[in-house]
Structure 1
Amino acid sequence: MCVLPIIPPVATALLEQELTAERLLRVTNKAGNEIYVFTAEEAPHCMQEVGRLREEAFRHYGGGTGKAVDIDEFDTMPGGYRQLIVWDPENKAILGGYRFIYGSEVGFSPDGKPLLATAEMFDFSDAFLRDYLPNTVELGRSFVSLQYQSTRMGTKAIFVLDNLWDGIGALTVVNPDALYFYGKVTMFKDYNRRARNLILHFLRKHFPDPDRLVTPIHPLPIEVCEEDEALFSSEDFGTNYKRLNTEVRKLGINIPPLVSAYIALSPEMRVFGTAVNEEFGDVEETGIFIAVGQILEEKKQRHIESFVRNRNGNGEAANGHG
């Protein structure tokens, strides 16, 4: 694959011009940051900066597109994905983001496949398309800007992932039909193989998808030796999670932060298996599905109810995001 130099940063003044009041979704619970939502058409300069930061972050860990900027047809097509970003008003910088699309807005190809970025790696059952997709938010391309992956940036860096969940939680308020989240967690090809297999085996055991709602087109095989399989012999989730954490740390690494964040969100999560994304540096993508109603109460209060309270308290409107 030909790897191009990444574009230079977009001028701050151009970003600020596009981050208007009607695109402000909410202020974060922690660190005083702001969440904005926009499309590529509405905010082309912000889209360029998001694409630059995404490519920089993913390429750093061995993924990415190899293009000068990570922007594809799902970002730019009419009715395509919207961008949700965390903006640091103090340092005038994008800290991280997701792209998302409401299932009710998803189009279909002539052969009946949903026009979703994950449709290139996963097959969707008729039951999923009929009973779940219309009430689902698909999340993708989660990233934290490289600069803010360092604890040297203080609280701004520590809370980026938490800030992103503030934004995702608010989506369920501005669109009450959003009852499910569907996304994926990424592991890079240079991530320790044993740790990867332990994590995926743990997820498969505790978060199965018995209905086979979504399945990888080419599933990644998970090879776990008997000794490692025995680590998770308990039926208790907490016990097995502690064992997983211990074994991964023995290898000198941690469970990827987004994996930990999803695990901590809901005990009723479903995991759809893992596929290799050949268009994105051969990263390994694991499908995740969560019902909003089954999110742990503490997380609901933190990321959803806080937005409801603030909005009701100061009369904020759901400005065009529903």
Structure 2
Amino acid sequence: MLPIIAPISSHALDADLAQLPELARILTHKDYEVWLASAEKIPSILQEIGRLREISFRAAGEGTGQPIDLDHFDTYYQHLFIWHKERHAVIGAYRLGFSGDIMPEHGLNGFYTYQLFDYTPAFIEQLQPCIELGRSFIRVEDQRNFVPLLLLWRGISTTAYLNPQYRRLFGPVSISADIPSLLRQLLAETLLKLHGEPELSAHIKARNPLPDRHFCPDMLAGITHSKELESILQANMPDVRMPVLLRQYLNLNGRLLSFSLDPQFSNTLDGLVLVDLDRVDQQTLSRYMGSQAAHDFLKKVDIDSYKPHAA
């Protein structure tokens, strides 16, 4: 592991923020602001995001091992980030890739997840238009506060509300290499059983699959809910819980499509997850959009033209 770069000065961060248009501010909550911007508009903030990513991921047993976690995808993806006005600090961020921008310029290779999963053009065609989510983090000292994660998801939901054609979200969700291989295999197989979507999974092949180790069908049949899976995990590793982000996706009716190891990211196991916002019940969606906005969003979605994937 190489030493992480020094913090970016608050003066440089403030300068980036000052030149962003007001429309880039997605929402405000007390001392927090959520912004959405492209890389060229926030050069200093992006460096700080890359620095904080690496700190956060290393603390979770992941990370690139480099001084900063930035790659070429960052140059053309959009960046959703939380800014704390009083602390003059980035609190958390998500990376958003809009398929309408990526496919014409870069094709399938333009998606980060295509490095991990070999999926067919038909897979993306079934999702289009869609947003690839990834590289999410909350600053280590703020991770016990539920507000930042809620604000990131409010930011994503608001972005979808303003662009209702982008109602499908997909991306990787990480399971740390700190969890033993056997338990990770159990997590993967059970999540595919409980929350899978075979019709879409048929278009996807993991580039670095887990070893081919199948559990007894009777054992898997006995697990009927992800909470039972979490109980098994905690019984074997009392200090380890189901990853927060994975639980978040499952709460949004997320579907797990495949799992692949990421050798460039501390051999983390990545699940490819899909969330259809129009398959999220209105009450849950209201937590992130607000009641009226959730109602309006679901009305905007052209249900008649949308063919749901097989459950």
TM-score, with length taken from structure 1: 0.81
Shift of 1:194: 4.1
- The AA in structure 2 aligned to 1:15 is L
The equivalences for 1:101-250 within 5 A come to 101-107=97-103, 113-132=108-127, 134-149=128-143, 151=144, 157-211=145-199, 212-221=202-211, 223=213, 225-226=215-216, 230-233=218-221, 239-250=224-235
- The AA in structure 2 aligned to 1:59 is R
- The AA in structure 2 aligned to 1:122 is F
| Deviation digits for residues 216-236 of structure 1 (CA, Å, limit 9, x no counterpart) | 12322363543xx5454258x
> What's the % identity of the aligned pairs?
28
| Deviation digits for residues 219-267 of structure 1 (CA, Å, limit 9, x no counterpart) | 22363543xx5454258xxx5233212212212021111111111111x
Q: Do the aligned partners of 1:170 and 1:307 also contact (CA within 8 Å) in 2?
A: no
The equivalences for 1:270-281 within 5 A come to 270-281=255-266
Change (3 A) 1:213 1:86: farther
Separation in 1 of the partners of 2:165 and 2:133?
A: 16
Q: Do the aligned partners of 2:96 and 2:133 also contact (CA within 8 Å) in 1?
A: yes
Q: Do the aligned partners of 2:230 and 2:241 also contact (CA within 8 Å) in 1?
A: yes
Structure 1: give runs of 5+ residues left out of the alignment: 152-156, 310-322
TM-score, with length taken from structure 2: 0.84
Separation in 2 of the partners of 1:13 and 1:39?
A: 20
Task: Please identify, of 55-64 and 92-101, the stretch whose mean Cα deviation from structure 2 is larger.
Answer: 55-64
- The AA in structure 1 aligned to 2:120 is S
Structure 2: give runs of 5+ residues left out of the alignment: 295-311
The equivalences for 1:56-75 within 5 A come to 56-75=55-74
Q: Do the aligned partners of 1:26 and 1:34 also contact (CA within 8 Å) in 2?
A: yes
Separation in 1 of the partners of 2:226 and 2:261?
A: 25
Q: CA RMSD in A?
A: 2.4
Report the counterpart of residue 320 of structure 1 in structure 2.
none
Separation in 2 of the partners of 1:278 and 1:245?
A: 25
Partner of 1:279, secondary structure, is coil
Shift of 1:277: 1.3
Shift of 1:284: 1.3
Shift of 1:105: 0.9
Partner of 1:114, secondary structure, is helix
Q: Do the aligned partners of 1:108 and 1:115 also contact (CA within 8 Å) in 2?
A: no
Partner of 2:271, secondary structure, is strand
Separation in 2 of the partners of 1:119 and 1:174?
A: 27
Separation in 1 of the partners of 2:226 and 2:23?
A: 42
Partner of residue 298 from structure 1, selected from 280, 283, 299: 283
Q: Do the aligned partners of 1:172 and 1:304 also contact (CA within 8 Å) in 2?
A: no
Task: Please identify, of 163-172 and 195-204, the stretch whose mean Cα deviation from structure 2 is larger.
Answer: 195-204
Q: Do the aligned partners of 2:82 and 2:91 also contact (CA within 8 Å) in 1?
A: yes
Higher helix share: 2
Separation in 2 of the partners of 1:209 and 1:221?
A: 21
Change (3 A) 1:261 1:231: farther
Change (3 A) 1:209 1:169: same
Q: Do the aligned partners of 1:96 and 1:143 also contact (CA within 8 Å) in 2?
A: yes
Separation in 2 of the partners of 1:10 and 1:255?
A: 32
Report the counterpart of residue 23 of structure 1 in structure 2.
24
Q: Do the aligned partners of 1:39 and 1:82 also contact (CA within 8 Å) in 2?
A: yes
> Would you say 1:264 and 2:262 are equivalent positions?
no
Separation in 2 of the partners of 1:10 and 1:282?
A: 29
Q: Do the aligned partners of 1:216 and 1:272 also contact (CA within 8 Å) in 2?
A: no
Partner of 2:137, secondary structure, is strand
